[in-house]
């Protein structure tokens, strides 16, 4: 198994089919196969396309974008743990127990973390959260289907 613990932007592109403006992982900063855990960052700048229409007078990152970022990190997480699935597509199948604790604003760095996973019948489930400056912004259980 590849034990590389960080991934830069170019390496992330090799794991994900997503591209600008819908790529929400800037860098993987930590990965552990045992216990399974992955952490990444996303730097939200005022140039993000969604800020133009999402409360333009008081821009905040939409909650669904935070969940999408966790889902994208989940794809990288699973493919790092199971390289035999590297060429497969992953589709978001569900979100459970989603909670939003604080807004994320332009100029902030979001830390995304996933811990543990369950895998059965081409369905993966993991749980994680997004934090900014040590304060939890969002959390959820992410469910994906492999095709």
Active site residues: 54
Peptide bond into 4 cis (omega under 30): no
| 27-33 β-sheet, strand order | 27-33, 36-43, 109-120, 123-132, 135-146, 90-100
**What's the CA gap between 23 and 64, in Å, rounded?**
13
What phi and psi, each to the nearest 5 degrees, are found at residue 56?
-55, -25
């Amino acid at each position: 198994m590849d034990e590389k613990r960080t991934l830069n932007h170019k390496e992330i592109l090799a794991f994900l089919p997503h591209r600008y403006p819908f790529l929400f992982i800037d860098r993987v900063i930590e990965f552990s196969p045992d216990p399974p855990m992955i952490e990444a960052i996303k730097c939200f700048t005022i140039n993000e396309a969604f800020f133009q229409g999402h409360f333009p007078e008081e821009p905040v990152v939409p909650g669904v974008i935070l969940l999408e970022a966790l889902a994208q990190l989940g794809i990288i997480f699973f493919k790092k743990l199971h390289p035999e699935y590297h060429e497969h597509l992953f589709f978001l199948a569900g979100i459970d127990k989603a909670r939003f604790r604080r807004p994320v604003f332009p100029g902030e760095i979001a830390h995304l973390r996933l811990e543990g996973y369950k895998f059965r019948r081409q369905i993966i489930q993991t749980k994680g959260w997004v934090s900014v400056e040590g304060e939890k912004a969002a959390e959820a259980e992410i469910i994906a289907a492999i095709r």
